[in-house]
Chain A
Amino acid sequence: MSAPAESPHPAASARIPPKLGGAAASGAAAPAGPGPAPHQQNGPAQNQMHVPSGYGLHPQNYIAPSGHYPQGPGKMTSLPLDSQCGDYYSGLYIVPTQNVVTPNTANQQPGAQQMYGRGPPAPHIVGSTPGPFQGATSSASHLHTSASQPYSPFVNHYSSPAMYSANSSVASQGFPSTCGHYAMSTVSNAAYPSVSYPSLPAGDPYGQQMFTSQNAPTVRPVRDNSFSGHSTAISHSSPLPPPPSHQYHQQQSLSGCSTLSWSASGLPSTQDNLLRNHSGSLATANSNPTNTVADSLSCPVMQNVQPLKSSPVVSSVLSGASSTRTPPAANRPVEPVASVTQPSELLQQKGVDSSSTTSSASPVPNSYDALEGGSYPDMLSSSASSPAPDPAPEPDPAPASAPTAPQPSKMAKPFGYGYPTLQPGYQNATAPLNSGVPPSSPVYSGFQQYAQYPGMNQLSSSLGGLSLQSSPQPESLRPVNLTQERNILPMTPVWAPVPNLNLDLKKLNCSPDSFRCTLTNIPQTQALLNKAKLPLGLLLHPFRDLTQLPVITSNTIVRCRSCRTYINPFVSFIDQRRWKCNLCYRVNDVPEEFMYNPLTRSYGEPHKRPEVQNSTVEFIASSDYMLRPPQPAVYLFVLDVSHNAVEAGYLTILCQSLLENLDKLPGDSRTRIGFMTFDSTIHFYNLQEGLSQPQMLIVSDIDDVFLPTPDSLLVNLYESKELIKDLLNALPNMFTNTRETHSALGPALQAAFKLMSPTGGRVSVFQTQLPSLGAGLLQSREDPNQRSSTKVVQHLGPATDFYKKLALDCSGQQTAVDLFLLSSQYSDLASLACMSKYSAGCIYYYPSFHYTHNPSQAEKLQKDLKRYLTRKIGFEAVMRIRCTKGLSMHTFHGNFFVRSTDLLSLANINPDAGFAVQLSIEENLTDTSLVCFQTALLYTSSKGERRIRVHTLCLPVVSSLADVYAGVDVQAAICLLANMAVDRSISSSLSDARDALVNAVVDSLSAYGSTVSNLQHSALIAPSSLKLFPLYVLALLKQKAFRTGTSTRLDDRVYAMCQIKCQPLVHLMKMIHPNLYRIDRLTDEGAIHVNDRVVPQPPLQKLSAEKLTREGAFLMDCGSVFYIWIGKSCDNNFIEDVLGYPNFASIPQKMTHLPELDTLSSERARSFITWLRDNRPLSPILHVVKDESPAKTEFFQHLIEDRTEAAFSYYEFLLHIQQQICK
């Protein structure tokens, strides 16, 4: 959906100089720029690496690299194509637009050359150049110029004293070019201020299309970049809407990303923004090998439906609210708004449903699945979260589904299976106990009168027939006799409970994937909370990859004047001009700009603005939200090259992955990259543009580390791409003969900090052993004999403060440190992890990594790296969590630095980071019926934009204990408990933490038992909402992090704890309680369709050996690892069709792949596994486990309902709890 929304407008010409400046300055941007040529000429002269004679150096190291360089020129010539066209077109556009590929690529080169070749190109040329290409370069050059000012001081600073005399020749090469570069951009900077940003874009929550161009007469389909000829035509002449089919084709080609903007066209911010959404969604698509763009795009079902949806689309001309700021004659931004013919109806019927897009309203029932796949926000992005239609959290009012679920979405799977085996059991249990159930339905109906929103009164009445209020909420309170219920685990994945709000609020509420609370009914007082004995807290996944995200660019971001809350769907409008904050209850004025609603094109409907219609929005922030200009994306790789590391062979994989993904690293034209390696010395690599080959600079003084050439170690990715590629090709072989076994990690990190501190960014550290030299050296603390001790587990905390202090320093300089620990022995992760914990980094751990001996780990590293390198990233971020007055934040969990009571400082934010917050109730909430939580994440996107992502969650307040129990979100509660238990085991002891976990169950169940007094006390009764609580706690106790008695390496345990702290809920739940499926009899019954693939949905099995039959094959999904267990007498047909071996005996012991066989069952199994794999932060490795192989113990230790020598079975655990309660 990138839109090169260009307009014949002065701003366009004002943009040209910077563009040229940027192009010239960043040599890589020019397709056939003069950049590479000098390099090649220099080449022969400097064929050997420049090594300062002062530093001790082993010459043999450099034989390999020099051998590589002769190949350079050949590659260099191909650079421009690779870096630009190859990147954007092959990756993104060829597949979706088959019909236009050829003209497209043909057009594109001339277009680009024109752009760079001619001085002031006519606006239409810019408009007709291929969108992404154009957008990238122009916006990039803008950003470049905008950032050049802050950095130019550095140039002066560095160039003045040639202080690092080690390689003066290099310095003299490097500095002039730098100076020229910056001089250039500062000049162009002068033109920059003349560009104004009158934009008022916003996202489209309803899946409609909205566009703005700046001038009244031109109404253009901005999206149509890839049809270059087509769009040019339209942009010049016709005020007519574009053919709808094209629109939709294009839209769908962006994998359902319906973010759009109607900002002033052609402005870099817009382009950039669009481009970024675009690339963001594509990056995720790409990260998964099978889920290519083609999958999500050209599925026939979607195309069939598109005309249907687009038929009611009309576009019309509209006046914008930001008229005063629009620079030229154009009075108001004009918006060709593609809206639905009956906008009001749309709004009422489904517009309010923040998560449904147009496609969900499709009247074509048989394509429902496909549409769901396209429409449901999580469908493409996170399969793990809610892949199947999730009726509970997102009631779908679409006519197609309404008939199928006339009586509300109890279990209203529009298709698929219900709860086949569960139902009978439930009936048995329910009937006799019903008398004991508190009369909760009246209580719930009480929640219906929350309609405080003027615009929604009629809406709720119109939806009265669809009301979910009568849905079986009491279900969650139905007492379950745990000891008698054999099948406690439902057959389908457990969904997050829906807060018991009235229908309007329910629809507006934040997706449970981003924001969950352990109690969806907030108790009124702390006393009530204490009585319930349940943890109260929030589980956040704030930077999740979203397929649909309204992006709002407005001049004023409307916030409460006293508590600074962002305006959100749960505020109340007192009248047209005033709104009341839902967090602090202050009455604020509605700004003039906010009165205009770009969606309905009407004035005076502030409650219909996208901010008020969506609980997850993203604002483009103004300069008010910056302390300094947005930083560029800066990546530094710090690599261990000691003997141990070379032996493990990770360098090959890393360099290969980097080479493959170099172009996909998130960033703009300012992106910088650098490399350092270390063993007992620290090696820097000078990659300054203009050198013929990378230079290695060795600093052996590890006690007082300095940077040899501070300005040429982090280089522009595009200017020095050839050098970087050379280095990456050379690196794996450079150290093959090293005999250095020491590792000076601490000094290397200090150097990395020095290098990064001017800009901030991301440091990726690869470490393979205990650091043994210099600051931060560590001793082995693990006693292998204690691994399976049931008593004290020591050394869970750090051994030194060095890494924590370093992390805090890094965090202060907006630098995050990500740790990849690939070790075969103990490496004291407990200490090393501190460098990531406090700097908001992430931690990856590959125990016993070896590239040939342990191919599955190698493959996992490769896949993880791919995701790691290409996923979205936000820099210099802070996250503030606000909550309604009376509640207060208590303790935070995750990787960050807490800067004040509600502010987390996050040097980097990535889409795989989760957070947890404990809450306490400080004042009674008696005078309110709703509480709200708001997370605002302010970050700098990789494209250099300041953005704020805001999530708002609204929950009801209840006053009775029964209601509190009715609203328990057991998964969230378990994840919060796990986080608390990690803290407890570090601060106190592991056994203490285990006791606390057991006590959590005992306390909550006994507290519940005392509320239902008329039940017999001999039975262990839990409310239905809590029925899985004991099971999950037992799973936690058997989790690597907390288990005792089973041999667990200390690093493994610490890593599991780190995972618990920073994984988002959906992934964490799989780590705690794996899913078990039987896969030898997959059928299409109840299958869902994702991206044109049929994904079977086998029922969940409980984690007990009793479910394993020798005739079957079972798949266990543990989050980061999959096991396929093959029973001894498994059907030979299955083994042959799926595994590709004739019989059980011939299956090899180590098997990590399913072969691609052309059979139905193989296809089903593979599509199911691929679907499970999609979008995990850690790509799972697959182990095929034969029944008799030694590896089966690993599989069996996950069967948590069974008894092990050191731990209870589930039934025993229940009895234990019962005993404790009766005590």
Chain B
Amino acid sequence: MAFTFAAFCYMLSLVLCAALIFFAIWHIIAFDELRTDFKSPIDQCNPVHALVLPEYSIHSLFCIMFLCAQEWLTLGLNVPLLFYHFWRYFHCPADSSELAYDPPAVMNADTLSYCQKEAWCKLAFYLLSFFYYLYWAPSTARPFGPSLVAPSPHVSIRGTRTGTPRGSHAPGRGTLGHYMRVLTILLMVCNLVLISNRRAREIPRKRSRSLCAPRTSEE
């Protein structure tokens, strides 16, 4: 199979999806920190704001690419989230310069739990779509044919979903597909390392604050 535009789309979305997963995890951590009093909402909402616009634009980019590649099914899966993002973007407080997360409002228990739920749902969605781009993408889009697909026990599932004939599951070792897999796994590991680093930085900070700066923690 030729290296089609659709295949390029899937490859790119695969990489970008990893970034989105990272953003989602970042959000989850950020709201968790808010809930546990680590940070002032003003401090916390700034980096979160910085991530919101990239996230939305990356996701919109996906959708545009899939639209151009005429991948209707993938587009269909992504459109609800796209609309949700549009809704969020145009429903934010006043200026819409502060995307979605309003420091004074975010500490409201309802808002906070909503934000957390939203972040978890997005994480789930991005994870699923990540594997979808990796494995379940229609064969037409697979640039290197079956070689991209890893030899895995999920064959039957894959078969049922798209219904496309597949059988030539040659082991992908040494192929581009293999490298793709390694690359994605590396990306995930990077994510995890980054996140755990962030956690590790937080914990000593918490300890020191409760010791020497009681004003914030005491009252």
Contacts and interface: CB of A to CB of B under 8 A. Distances in A.
A901 B215 contact: no
Contacts of B94: 797-801, 804
A901 B35 contact: yes
A900 interface: yes
A898 interface: yes
Contact of A624 (B97, B110, B214): B214
A878 B37 CA distance: 14
B218 A938 contact: yes
Given A812-B42, A891-B109, A564 B218 contact: yes
8 nearest A-B pairs in the assembled complex, by CB-CB distance: A898-B107, A801-B95, A900-B37, A938-B219, A878-B219, A890-B109, A627-B215, A801-B94
22 contacts: A564-B217, A564-B218, A624-B218, A625-B215, A626-B215, A797-B94, A798-B93, A800-B94, A800-B95, A801-B94, A802-B95, A804-B93, A808-B103, A808-B104, A889-B109, A898-B104, A898-B108, A899-B40, A900-B107, A938-B215, A938-B218, A938-B219
B41 interface: yes
A880 interface: yes
A1147 to B, nearest CB: 49
Interface in B91-126: 93-95, 97-98, 103-104, 107-110, 112
A801 B93 contact: yes
Interface of A: 564, 624-627, 797-802, 804-805, 808, 812, 837-838, 878-880, 888-892, 897-901, 903, 905, 920, 936, 938, 948
Given A625-B218, A804-B93, A903-B219, 11 more contacts: A625-B214, A627-B215, A800-B95, A801-B94, A812-B40, A878-B215, A890-B110, A892-B108, A898-B107, A899-B216, A901-B107
A830 to B, nearest CB: 10
**Most A CB atoms within 10 A — which of B40, B93, B110?**
B40
Contacts of A837: 104
B107 A879 contact: no
A993 B151 CA distance: 59
Interface range, B side: 20 to 34
B175 to A, nearest CB: 52
A628 to B, nearest CB: 9
A898 B41 contact: yes
Contacts of B37: 900-901, 903
Interface string B179-219: 00000000000000000000000000000000001111111
Contacts of B112: 901
B127 interface: no
Contacts of B34: 900-901
B97 A891 contact: no
A920 B109 contact: yes
A936 B42 CA distance: 23
From DSSP, what is the main secondary structure of chain B's interface residues?
A: helix
Interface string B25-40: 0000000001101001
B109 A901 contact: yes
Given A812-B42, A888-B109, A899-B40, A936 B219 contact: yes
A798 B96 CA distance: 12
Nearest to B93: A801
A564 B83 CA distance: 45
Nearest to B105: A898
A805 B95 CA distance: 11
A898 B214 CA distance: 18
Contacts of A624: 214, 218
A459 B109 CA distance: 42
A796 to B, nearest CB: 12
Contacts of A805: 98
Contacts of A936: 219
Pick from A799, A800, A899, A905 the residue with the most CB of B within 10 Å. Answer: A899
A619 to B, nearest CB: 11
Nearest to B39: A900
Contacts of A920: 109
A1036 to B, nearest CB: 22
Contacts of A798: 93-94
B219 A880 contact: yes
Nearest to B104: A838
Interface in B50-109: 93-95, 97-98, 103-104, 107-109
A891 B104 contact: no
A284 to B, nearest CB: 26
A510 to B, nearest CB: 18
A530 to B, nearest CB: 16
A442 B166 CA distance: 77
Contact of B216 (A627, A801, A808, A812): A627
A890 B112 CA distance: 10
Nearest to A801: B95
Given A797-B94, A880-B219, A903-B37, A804 B42 contact: no
A625 B95 contact: no
B215 A804 contact: no
A934 to B, nearest CB: 11
A193 to B, nearest CB: 20
Nearest to A983: B108
Contacts of B110: 890-891
Nearest to B111: A891
A899 B218 contact: no
A991 B13 CA distance: 45
Contacts of A900: 34, 37, 40-41, 107
Nearest to B217: A564
| Of A625, A804, A880, A889, most B-chain CB atoms within 10 Å | A804
Contacts of A797: 93-94
